[in-house]
Structure 1
Amino acid sequence: MKASKTVSTRSVTTKLMTTASVGALLFGLSAAAQADNWRYAHEEYEGDVQDVFAMAFKEYVEDNSDHTVQVYRFGELGESDDIMEQTQAGILQFVNQSPGFTGALIPEAQIFFVPYLLPTDEETVIEFFNSSTAIHETFPELYAEQGLELLKMYPEGEMVVTLDEPITTPEELRGKNIRTMTNPLLSETYRAFGASPTPLPWGEVYGGLQTNILQGQENPIFWIESGGLYEVSPHLIFTGHGWFTTAMMANQDFYNSLSEDDQQLVRDATEAAYEHILEHISGLADESLEKIQAASDEVTVTRLTEEQIQAFRDRAPQVEERFVELTGERGAALLEQFKQDLEAVQND
């Protein structure tokens, strides 16, 4: 049982390690750059989706060049906001971060948290990421404004809500503190759903659920299993409201300083990692759910019917309106492009 002994102490470990780890990075920055050692940080644990992507990227780079890639997992250099700051400062060359956190930096990235915008069937989601104009043309420009070279956006898994009791209606969420990532639109989503959104960094989630400060949270099922969240929040609700999305990017000054060959190497390694992750996530949710159910007899699984989902979907327009309020004309244009891209995929 990994969570009660390890996850609940990870936030403490994170805080103890961060200062020393970043100091070591700064101390070795010049020498490491000359040695072509590239640093890559992500938000998840060993064996999770972002880690699998990072290790596939590392393997391709090291198999096809003299460069090395050093991968840092969650907690080794701090929380999500820490690794983004380190990437923008040039301490890290690569970072993998969800729009759930990047949304504070790039408000338009919060579009992935408009509920019921993305479909939940895997094949359609993947086709959207492969072909979307918004993904391949609009977002790179938005990330570039923040000194980031967007290399790939990719899906990790359908979002699942965990709670202290099973629910089937928005009314049953009333009064429940639901942990959200620290972006305004996700808070608006759960406010629309009837809950009380509580933005928190990941390191505080397990303890908050364990002490009932929080009554629920959302994550893809593999992360619920990996982080042991089912131990303290055992009722899984499949609401069909979206997929967890993440983005892999580079410090733009670093990327622009690379030779053409090395830029191509980075792009090729990113594509190889992307193809690998699409295979990896296929069936991952079912495998993770089986592990959860084998580990705990307290777990319940509620899959909302179409009629039940509609009650939640009816509340989505107010989140779209809030997205446009937060992002202005650019956000409105992006939302329209998203819908066109999705319609093209669904009508293909």
Structure 2
Amino acid sequence: MNYKAITAASLCALMLGAGAGAAETWRYAFEEAMDEVQGKFAQKFKEEVEANSDNEVQLFPFGTLGESADIMEQAQSGILQFVDQSPGFTGALIPEAQVFFVPYLLPADEGQLIKFFRDSKAIHELFPPLYADQGLELLTMFPEGEVMMTTTKPIAGPADLNEVKFRVMTNPLLVASYQAFGATPTPLPWGEVYGALQTGIIQGQENPAFFIESTKMYEVANNITRAGHNNFTTAVMANKEFFDGLSDADKTVVRNAIAAAFDYTVDYQSGLTETSLQKIKEARPDVTITTLTEEQRAPFKATAAAVEAKFLEIGGPQAKPILDQMKADLAAAAGN
């Protein structure tokens, strides 16, 4: 299904909400369903805002207002007050955000990963001005789970990705990463992915296990490979003009709600990957789930330096400071 079209009724409803009294009605769109990780974060944010202020938060899950590009445009224009979107899509606006697609940069250890996202100077100090330049207030970034490949044939190494048309987000560095892996990267809007796998237009895609399970990607690509190459990252932003115009009290409400939603979502994700994989096996017993050994991962890891170099080439003027700071932040999270 393609959700590109936005109904006139939806836009009309949003624009009416932008009139008198709209300061108390905040609209928040995200890239997943209500029962997926971004939806859980959004619901907790709404709960906290409404419990601690007179404001109301309206939630718009994926497809309600269009594809990822649509909701970003609506957030920048002020139709939406809040948006949750992966750097995979904001990379075109903020090239430095592509750093999250350097393979094997983020740690596999969950404790280190969460500490990094909580404390990272790159996230909390270096990225906000870059988002502000695009009319966005960066409120937080958080991980959504280990990224896994789902393909129509088994994958044990880069040679198995040769000539595989692999769906990627519209992100130049992610394209470069899968080129380095040996695949043929094929950018597609999410709404077209299931059908493209079903008809053979593409032969693979990547996402966390919960998303593979909830969207039933295993029905059209029954090989799941855990190469350990990344963790899906997303960012919650506000329209900057809207946020700057809030009272100090409302800014505090927003920031506290974001912090509470972050903690809630971290707890919610505990054990989610393995539970989701088990549900997939129960739904389709013939699904193959392969965790690559360190020896099998080695040729994938060997591509990281080239992708990192590509990031420094295309990642914008702050690419090197951000990459250097992220490495320092990751070392601190690891206790080094």
Q: Secondary structure at the match of 1:91?
A: coil
Q: Choose the corresponding residue for 1:82, options 70, 80, 105.
A: 70
Question: Once structures 1 and 2 are overlaid, which stretch shifts more, 166-175 or 23-32?
Answer: 23-32
CA 1:323–1:17 in structure 2 vs 1: closer, same or farther (change >3 Å)? same
Q: How far apart, CA to CA, are the structure 2 residues paired with 1:292 and 1:310?
A: 27
Q: Secondary structure at the match of 1:254?
A: helix
Q: Secondary structure at the match of 2:318?
A: helix
Q: How far apart, CA to CA, are the structure 2 residues paired with 1:197 and 1:189?
A: 9
Question: Once structures 1 and 2 are overlaid, which stretch shifts more, 118-127 or 91-100?
Answer: 118-127
Distance apart, 1:183 and its partner CA: 0.6
Distance apart, 1:202 and its partner CA: 0.3
Distance apart, 1:267 and its partner CA: 0.4
1:309 maps to 297
CA 1:85–1:301 in structure 2 vs 1: closer, same or farther (change >3 Å)? same
Distance apart, 1:20 and its partner CA: 3.0
Q: How far apart, CA to CA, are the structure 2 residues paired with 1:86 and 1:32?
A: 19
Distance apart, 1:329 and its partner CA: 4.2
Query: Which amino acid counterpart does residue 317 of structure 1 have in structure 2?
Result: A
What's the CA shift string for 1:15-41, capped at 9, x where partnerless? 45444312321133113515x110000
2:48 maps to 60
Q: TM-score, normalised by structure 2?
A: 0.98
1:240 maps to 228
Check conservation: 1:42, 1:74, Cα contact below 8 A. yes
Check conservation: 1:222, 1:284, Cα contact below 8 A. yes
Q: How far apart, CA to CA, are the structure 2 residues paired with 1:186 and 1:76?
A: 26
Check conservation: 2:148, 2:206, Cα contact below 8 A. yes
**Structure 2: 5+ residue runs without aligned partners?**
none
Q: How far apart, CA to CA, are the structure 2 residues paired with 1:28 and 1:70?
A: 10
Residue 106 (str. 1) matches residue 94 (str. 2): yes
2:248 maps to 260
Query: Which amino acid counterpart does residue 101 of structure 1 have in structure 2?
Result: F
Query: Which amino acid counterpart does residue 119 of structure 1 have in structure 2?
Result: P
Query: Which amino acid counterpart does residue 142 of structure 2 have in structure 1?
Result: Y
Residue 97 (str. 1) matches residue 89 (str. 2): no
2:19 maps to 30
Q: How far apart, CA to CA, are the structure 2 residues paired with 1:330 and 1:18?
A: 39
Residue 49 (str. 1) matches residue 37 (str. 2): yes
Q: How far apart, CA to CA, are the structure 1 residues paired with 2:188 and 2:56?
A: 34
Query: Which amino acid counterpart does residue 89 of structure 1 have in structure 2?
Result: S
Check conservation: 2:168, 2:206, Cα contact below 8 A. yes
Check conservation: 1:158, 1:242, Cα contact below 8 A. yes
Query: Which amino acid counterpart does residue 152 of structure 2 have in structure 1?
Result: D
Check conservation: 1:148, 1:249, Cα contact below 8 A. yes
Q: Secondary structure at the match of 1:127?
A: helix
Residue 21 (str. 1) matches residue 27 (str. 2): no
CA 1:328–1:256 in structure 2 vs 1: closer, same or farther (change >3 Å)? closer
More helix by share: 1
What's the CA shift string for 1:56-102, capped at 9, x where partnerless? 00000111111100000000000011001000000000000000001
Query: Which amino acid counterpart does residue 17 of structure 2 have in structure 1?
Result: G
Query: Which amino acid counterpart does residue 75 of structure 1 have in structure 2?
Result: G
2:140 maps to 152
Q: How far apart, CA to CA, are the structure 1 residues paired with 2:317 and 2:31?
A: 31
Percent identity at matched positions? 56
1:3 maps to none
Check conservation: 2:26, 2:80, Cα contact below 8 A. yes
1:181 maps to 169
Q: How far apart, CA to CA, are the structure 2 residues paired with 1:247 and 1:314?
A: 28
Check conservation: 2:145, 2:208, Cα contact below 8 A. yes
2:120 maps to 132
Q: How far apart, CA to CA, are the structure 1 residues paired with 2:317 and 2:14?
A: 40
